[in-house]
Every structure is written in structure tokens, then in C-alpha cells.
Amino acid sequence: MDYLYLENVTKTFDKVVAVDRVTLGIGKTEFFALLGPSGCGKTTTLRLIAGLEQPTAGRIYIDGREVTNLPPQERNVAMVFQDYALYPHMTLFENIAYPLKVRKVSKREIAAKVHEVAEHLMIAELLDRLPSQVSGGQQQRAAVARALVHAPKVFLFDEPLSNLDAKLRIEARAFLKHLQKEIHVTTVYVTHDQAEAMAMADRIGVMFAGKVVQVGAPLELYRFPKTKEVAAFLGNPPMNILPGRVQPVTDGSQFVGEGFVLSLPGVHIPPQEIYLGFRPEHAKIDVEPKDCAIRARIYAVQPLGSEVWITLQVGNYTVTVKMFAEGMPQVAEEVWLILDQNKIHLFDSAGQRLSPCG
């Protein structure tokens, strides 16, 4: 069995199903991200693992032992909260030492362990300060230190970077990833920021409306999303998804969208309503039509330094294309949108991924 295993776990609050028959297996030392929009159930799932909520149904196992009915203090997990939850009346030292203090560890050992972990997290000189006297980034590291200090079996993070400003967030991301690799603790990391999940996780579990929709390595989810929700959630700017109809033509199919037609050679699927998706970096604009081109009008151009985002009006829809700044042709009002044939995604009317061969 996996190190951390959730078996058909369900959690209902009054009439609302927050977590819906979730089954997840997470390996030892794995960095697993739970990703999804607000309200999708990812934080509730985390709290179920911690023991802060009791599942309505299902079981939870940690390191082979069933913990479903154990209170949090007996599970030997650690959690970093979104607001860090550092006790304002204790110094950083006392905060970090707290898990050891309640386990009745000797004072000498506490001091040694706290200093060790503080060194690791580069806050050793701040140990006698109060949380209100250190910066946000330092508070966050103190919260991480407190979680680490008693060598937990599972490390739980609840959106720990959302209270940091943008620049600090990027630094902290690298720091946490590096730390996790060094310490080899099984980690479950909840976030709504897809870039964060992609950058840090070994595997991602995407959740929508209480269900885990897809689990896999970041690039796997990015390249082969199982549903159009997953496809749209990952990637910045998000994948362009256009509704339309597909019908067969000689040696392939034809996609009829609102206001345009696109030929899809080599695609053989029965005629139906579908969604066509392509990522902004898998398309470009040109002044001359090439294969797989659609007429488009420029709506807005956003130069971002090394790349340019161009928003276009295609038929009745707005799509975004991402291109490198060098090699961008002269921009005119009317251009041609050219898609990379091999990187097109197709989803059926229910949003499920379609294989091009039916």
C-alpha cells in the first residue's frame, strides 16, 4: 500500500458534499500537490489527513496504520497553515519547540533540535524574537521549522505562500522544493496556484467540486489533460478552448466553429459537438495563411519583455497567443492565426478528452 492512502474518503457538511469518494495513494518522500479552484475540497481533504475533520465515509492510512478515527495529536503529522498560526505570546524558539515540549522531550534535546532546524531554515538568529517582530517570510520559515522539528510522517501545507508578496513567493517556492528533497518527508501541498503546483510537485492531483479528476506528473497533466477543466486550469495564459462541431471530410475532419472553419487532416472521429483546445504557445500569427490557419483580428497586444501575448478575435471568440518577441511579424489588423496541428486537444461535449483516432 502507498505510504499515505485515502480510500473512498467522503466528507459532507450538512447537505454539501465537500469531498466526494476520493481515493489517493501518495508514496513515501513524494511531493504531492492538491490543486484546484477555491471551494473544490482540497483544503478539506488536507484537514481530513491531519485529523482536523472526521470523514463521513472512507478510510485513511498512514505508513500502513489506519488513522481514520485517530485525533490529530496521535497521527504524527505536521501542518503549516495559511496564516502560519505562530503563537503570538511565544518567541520563535518556544513556538518551534512546542511539538517537542508536549512530547516531553528533555530541555537539552529540545534546544539542540530547535537550533538544528532553525539553522536549516536560516532563522537561527531570530529565535528569541516574537512572531510580530519578524517579517512574513521569516514567520513562514518558523512555521515550517515547527512542523519539521518532530520528524513527522507526513508534512501538510495549506496554501503556505499565499500571504507572501510576489517576489518572496518565487524565492520561497525554490526554497521549499529544495528543502523537501533534502529532508525526504512525504508532503501534501494544497494550492490554487497552478504554477506553484507545476513547479514544486512530483505529482499533482487536480480537484474540482470535491472529486479528484486527474492525477499525474505535472508535464503529463499539462500535455495530456483528461478533461477540459483540467486543461483550462493549467497553463498561463490558459488554454484556448473553442466550442464547435466536427464533421468528417475526405482524409480527415473539419471543425466548424462560430464564424470560422478549420480543417483537421488525419482526425477521424464521429460527427458530434466538441471542444477544440490549443495552448497559447502552440499557435502563432502570421500575415500569410499557412496550414491550419484561421482568419483573425487583433484585439490587444501585451509585450512582456521576452514574450508577447496577443489577444485575437476569432469568429465570435477571443483567443490568446503567446510568442517570443523576436521573430514576431509586423502586426496588422487582420492576421492569420496558425495552429500547431500536433498540439491540438479535442474534448467531447461532456468535456472528456478525445483521441484523434476515435
Partner 1 sequence: MQKKSSSLVLSTSTGLIFLAPALLFIALFLFFPLVWVLIISLTDTTLTGPAAVSPSFVGISNYVRLFDLSRWMRLGNFGNALRNTVIFVLGSAIFGQVPLGLAIALAFHRRKGLLREIVFSLATVAWILPGVAVAFAWIAFLDRDFGTFNALLALLGFPKIDWYFDYPLYAIIIFNIWRGTAFSMLLFSAALGNIPPSYWETADVIGASAWQRFKDIIFPLVRPNLFTALILVTLWTFNVFTPYLITGGGPLYRSETVPIFTYRVAFKFFEFGKGAAIAVVMMTINFILASFYLLMQRRRPR
Partner 2 sequence: MRGLKKCAFKLCWGIFILLVVTFFLLPLLWLITAPFDAKATLRVAIPSKFTLANFQAIFRNTFAVRALFLNSIVIAGGTMLGVTLFATLAAYAIARLNIPGRDILAYLLVLFSSVVQGTAAMVPIFILLFHLKLIDTYPGVIFVLIGGLLPTGIFLMRDFVAGVPKSYEESALVSGARPWQVLRDVVLPVLRPGMMVLAVWSFVQAWGDFLISLIVMRSPAKMPAPIAIYSFYTEGGTPVLTLVSAYSLIYALPVVFLYLFVNWRYGFRFFGGIKGGGR
Which of these segments, 27-35, 48-56, 119-127, 174-182, binds partner 2 (CB under 8 A)?
48-56
Least distance (Å) between residue 320 CB and partner 2: 38
CB 176 within 8 A of CB 193: no
CB-nearer residue toward partner 2: 79 or 285: 79
Binding of residue 72 to partner 1 (CB under 8 A):
yes
Burial of 240 (0-12, 13-18, 19+ CB in 10 A): buried
Which of these segments, 58-66, 94-102, 226-234, 243-251, binds partner 2 (CB under 8 A)?
94-102
Binding of residue 81 to partner 2 (CB under 8 A):
yes
Least distance (Å) between residue 125 CB and partner 2: 24
Binding of residue 89 to partner 2 (CB under 8 A):
yes
CB-nearer residue toward partner 2: 52 or 332: 52
CB-nearer residue toward partner 2: 7 or 158: 158
Binding of residue 79 to partner 2 (CB under 8 A):
yes
Least distance (Å) between residue 17 CB and partner 1: 18
Interface residue with partner 2 among 8, 27, 52, 271 (CB under 8 A) is: 52
Least distance (Å) between residue 86 CB and partner 2: 8
Least distance (Å) between residue 147 CB and partner 1: 18
Between CA 262 and CA 245 the distance in angstroms is 10
What string marks each residue from 173 to 212 as x (binds partner 2 by CB under 8 A) or -?
A: ----------------------------------------
Binding of residue 88 to partner 2 (CB under 8 A):
yes
Nearest residue to 295 (alpha-carbon basis) of 330, 263, 264, 337? 337
Binding of residue 16 to partner 1 (CB under 8 A):
no
What string marks each residue from 12 to 31 as x (binds partner 2 by CB under 8 A) or -?
A: --------------------
Least distance (Å) between residue 66 CB and partner 1: 19
CB-nearer residue toward partner 2: 73 or 352: 73
Binding of residue 107 to partner 2 (CB under 8 A):
no
Q: Which amino acid is at 338?
A: I
CB-nearer residue toward partner 2: 5 or 98: 98
Interface residue with partner 1 among 16, 52, 102, 287 (CB under 8 A) is: 52
Least distance (Å) between residue 143 CB and partner 2: 8
Between CA 271 and CA 177 the distance in angstroms is 46
Interface residue with partner 2 among 73, 135, 302, 316 (CB under 8 A) is: 73
Q: What are 113's three cell numbers? A: 533540535
Binding of residue 259 to partner 1 (CB under 8 A):
no
Residues that bind partner 1 (CB under 8 A): 52, 71-72
